[in-house]
Structure 1
Amino acid sequence: MSELIYPKQNELAKLIESNIPGDGVNETAIPSLFFMRQSTKIGPSYGNYKPSLCLVVQGAKDVWLAEELFKYSPTDYLVASVDLPVTAQVTEASADVPYLGFKLEFTPEQILDVLSDSEISINPKENAKRGMFVSHMEPTLLDAVLRLARLLDNPQDIPVLAPLFKKEILYRLLQGMNGNTLKQIAIEGSSTYRIRNVIEHIMNNFDRSYRIEELAEKANMSVSSLHRHFKEVTAMSPIQLQKQLRLQEARRLLLIESTDATDVAFQVGYESPSQFSREYSRMFGFPPREDIKRLRRQYEKTANE
């Protein structure tokens, strides 16, 4: 396996290095394709993964979904099948051998399109599964990924060939050992499909209060079924997911605006500034003001190196 994969990963690494200006997350000329580069092992980052295929081309990375850890390296790939708030940390990176990553976002509609054009079996009654998984890299998948990335050297081919190569990548994922997890996001009526709708509702309305019965009605489930299936997909409860979204947005606002922590707490939906401060400290390890000062010092140090 390694003899087939590693030379192609070297080629992919060179393509990434030649198509990005430096460290950070870089959008490419191919829609929904992003390249990542990081030359130091800085602290964990917090954000939301859209449905996507993620590859570590060079280095290694840890991703936490709630308390569940997903470790992956160049021999693996990670898939998020629904929108999920995560904590991620690059664990192998240096100036000489930087971390390099590949992320291709996709939609349930694109999954359904592949299913409609193939003979892959579908079972809408299958139980909900975790919305994130790590699988071992297969040569056929890496071949399709490379074909897509090579288009950056021939941009005139992107409009015609990129959609075809994306479709092949999704087809390979659906054929993989965790393909059933991916199918469920596109099958109307499946448990995962209904939980996906609830996740989207919470993400779009995280700053307001809601009743759990309201979410259960949106999913067409009983309250107990909603709790069970939601936790199976996201590894957390609806309230825990909402809290993580609020705190992530609060941190983002504090970093980009000269705003008081109390004002931010109210903006993201908290009624009690003291509760906000406690939960912020629990998630990020420091009270809001101290955390933001620390982050700004860290960014300035990184920028000056």
Structure 2
Amino acid sequence: MLLPFSIWFARVIQKMQGHQGFKNVSVPQTEELSAAIQRFANTDGDFNTVLPALTMHRRHGVSEPMPCIYNLGIAVITQGYKQIMVGDRLHNYGPGQLMLSTFDMPVTAHVTRASRSEPLLGMMLKLDIRLVAQVAFEMELLSSPESAYEPISVHKLEPALFDVLLRIVRLLDEPHLVSQLAPLLQQEIVVRLLAGPQGSQLRHIIADGTPRQRMAQTLSWLRKNFKQTLNLDDLAAHAHMTPSTFRQHFRDITGMSPLQFQKQMRLQEARQLMLNQAFDAGEASNLVGYESASQFSREYKRLFGAPPSRDIRRMRLETDASE
């Protein structure tokens, strides 16, 4: 009987790791990926590609800590360094490392090393939770892991995983093949993640019936329904927890309360509406669920350091200056 592709591929990987090991990522490969990122991100900013799950990023200087949303996915930096704070947990990462985010959640991130001559260059690839669960099932990896859970973790970037990331970036030069080949490469990435040192972190969010898995479902619902009035008792009941246990698990994972989580989601969305769709503060605040414009302005300034109009004007000036 033929083995599912995921199981066969995982066994091949394990044999390679056990008997001969992987060579270090070569400098030419790293330079190729940097060059590819710069083709798509030739100025400061975040850039979409023909593969919706894949984005490219560039920054020409050190930045102030800034709240943002990290989705379920992985990120790689080929040049420069970043720092990420989740609650009171701090993560630093740069070239040669892989950042894994297992929830769609607010974080505070900033560039700690970059310059005009050597800008920060990076790429992010969103993961599909359904694909992760399917591959884990085929690989018989659905049991709850014993390792401690971190919603965001930084790992050594294995050369074999780097190679498939390089291949998926190369595929962007053949847009007519993306729809056929990208799913195969995305599956290979998930297989390698689950078979690698970061696999236990992914397994935390798909292990059936665990508090982490139920919390993942709750966070996914909140991410899509942050405009609605929040009822903590209903959320706790949906997660099959008491309100106090729910609040504790929520804070352990996200570093904040459910209300703080919702507030950041609303403010981040309002910021994008003003920046990208030219809504004014009043329109944006209504669209994300605020009833009071003055409350929106106060909370926006507290999170981003300036009132909405001044913050958006500053961001547009910075974008114009980098082009």
Q: TM-score normalised to the size of structure 2?
A: 0.81
- Aligned CA distance change for structure 1 residues 253 and 15 (closer, same or farther; 3 Å): closer
Alignment of 1:260-275 (within 5 A): 261-262=281-282, 264-275=284-295
Pairwise CA distance, 1:213 = 0.5
Could you tell me which of 180, 183, 202 is aligned with 2:200?
180
- Aligned CA distance change for structure 1 residues 192 and 61 (closer, same or farther; 3 Å): same
Aligned equivalents of 1:6, 1:60: Cα separation in 2? 19
The aligned residue for residue 140 of structure 1 is 160
The amino acid across from 1:298 in the alignment is E
Could you tell me which of 238, 252, 262 is aligned with 2:272?
252
The aligned residue for residue 213 of structure 1 is 233
CA contact (8 A) 2:44 2:322 kept: no
Q: TM-score normalised to the size of structure 1?
A: 0.86
The amino acid across from 2:48 in the alignment is E
Verify: 1:238 aligned to 2:258, yes or no.
yes
Taking only the aligned residue pairs, the percentage that are identical comes to 36
The aligned residue for residue 48 of structure 1 is 69
Verify: 1:295 aligned to 2:318, yes or no.
no
The amino acid across from 1:53 in the alignment is I
CA contact (8 A) 1:51 1:83 kept: yes
Pairwise CA distance, 1:129 = 2.6
The aligned residue for residue 90 of structure 1 is 111
Pairwise CA distance, 1:25 = 2.2
Structure 2, unaligned runs of 5 or more: 1-20
The aligned residue for residue 11 of structure 2 is none
Aligned equivalents of 2:78, 2:317: Cα separation in 1? 29
The aligned residue for residue 86 of structure 2 is 65
- Aligned CA distance change for structure 1 residues 201 and 245 (closer, same or farther; 3 Å): same
- Aligned CA distance change for structure 1 residues 83 and 41 (closer, same or farther; 3 Å): same
Pairwise CA distance, 1:62 = 1.9
The aligned residue for residue 26 of structure 1 is 47
The aligned residue for residue 117 of structure 1 is 138
Aligned equivalents of 1:33, 1:250: Cα separation in 2? 23
Alignment RMSD, CA only? 2.8
Verify: 1:150 aligned to 2:187, yes or no.
no
Deviates more, 1:286-295 or 1:103-112: 286-295
Aligned equivalents of 1:254, 1:17: Cα separation in 2? 27
CA contact (8 A) 1:128 1:229 kept: no
The aligned residue for residue 95 of structure 2 is 74
CA contact (8 A) 1:127 1:191 kept: no
